[in-house]
Structure 1
Amino acid sequence: MAQIRRPPAPSPAERAKTIAARNGPGALLTAGDPVGSDRVVPELHHVHPSGSVSILLRDDHPLLERTRRAERSELAVVFELADHAPVDLREPIRGLLWITGRLRCSSPESARARALSIAGTRPDPRLLDLGHGLSLLRLTPASLVLADAEGTHSLRPHAVNSVPPDPFTAYESGWLAHLETDHPDVLGRLARHLPDNLRGGRIRPLGLDRFGLRLRVESPGGDHDVRLAFTQPVHSPAQLGVELRRLVGCPFLARVQP
């Protein structure tokens, strides 16, 4: 029996790095309790390029004292990152990344250095409260698990650290939201690439990466995700514009170019 060939997609490590770079909603779970009945949502969190996670909690949060009293002042935890679609979908979560590792409190000097590092790429007024009501903890990763539409994968930190995020991560959300709001005609043109059984559903922009465009088809019978592959991986806005216009079927339709 011939196997169904799936469209090319970023590697699991690249997809994990991209979710980490987006730095979406996150929560701490105690290791061994994946259901997370006592989920801790930090005041602020940030995944560094090294893969470590900075977590800001209020000084009176019980998890701080629990971490200090743990063996070697390290607590085994899981940090969950959710990858949310940039448009309002019925099922908005596109993927989940779980980072398992050891949590420990940072010294005042280390906390200030990490806060400055965060502020350099992601300024946030909550960083000013460090040492004035907020404390910083550091999560050092030991393993990662990625779950998304492409599959579920167990990853080692070095495999994720060694790859860059998708080149279009920075403006994917804005462009897809613009496509949804201002170009329903373009989404309609993309219907020609869908299987016959999915035509007629509501087409929504779901994701964009260097390998292709992802759509969510919402219909009464359920939601279905479809990847429309580019002819080759793209790395620049100009290349992306060419591939997007090809998918639309109008090579001169420049106004949908990011």
Structure 2
Amino acid sequence: MDITFGVDSFIWTENFLEKDLWVIKKAEELGFKVIDFAIAHPETFPTEKVIEELKKTSLIPVTTTTLDDQRNLLSEDARIRGNGVRSMKLLVDINKKLGSKILGGVNYAGWGCLSGKPRTNEEWSNSVNAMKEICEYALQVYPDLNICVECVNRFETHFLNIAEDAVQYCKDVGTSNIKVHLDCFHMIREEKSFSGAVKTCGKKYLGYVHVNENDRGIPGTGLVPFPELFNALKEVGYEGPCTIESFDPSFKELNSNCAIWRSFAPTGEALAIEGLKNLKEIASSI
């Protein structure tokens, strides 16, 4: 099976700044075809410099983001929801400049902002209405972009944990540019089966995939059934990238939510290299 593999900038850096531009060429040198820029702070992302570096490569750019408690689309506070909408619109503009066709991640709620109870109808309505505004804006300024909502595990959000709920969210938003972002790390905790989750999304709603191991370690060395996943992706006709994402225990902002307390490889780069090798071998047998 021919899969386009990508690597997340989180492999090297927590907050992508001008000092991290070297990562772009390195990603291509390691054999990746796609680079996922994790942009938690769009206001500091060096867009123009990134564009210059991307032109020196053949890499395909995509992006992900996480909203926080001051940009939480679930919030009762209209001001906070407005902050989230403005941040997402800025990310749409950044994606247009980069030529990225995917904006994934926890872009529908404040990441790690747990209420301590199941989601409410009010939260659903707040997020859906805010996302409609974001998606309609994207359709106006950059219709090539898909906004992909990432189902994450119960310890990181109480809002979207499984593909079935994410598909319903997409249907309720109702625009053509809202899709689902699946991540193996979260799927192994929340889904009944990998193939079932992929088929629940189908070609219509599956917009992006992160191929992470169950412990966020080297893909292909743990419990994730990658052959099952790749077969399901093939069956539904998914043509998007499959991206490796992991984090370093030295990160500051991310580690409390991700609970990264130990290293899974000598370096993040070593994890990406070995993971790409393993995943290519698995894909070649599909």
Larger % of strand: which? 1
Give yes or no for TM over 0.5: no
Larger % of helix: which? 2
Q: Which has the larger radius of gyration?
A: 1
TM tier relative to shorter chain: under 0.3
TM-score, normalised by the number of residues in structure 2: 0.23
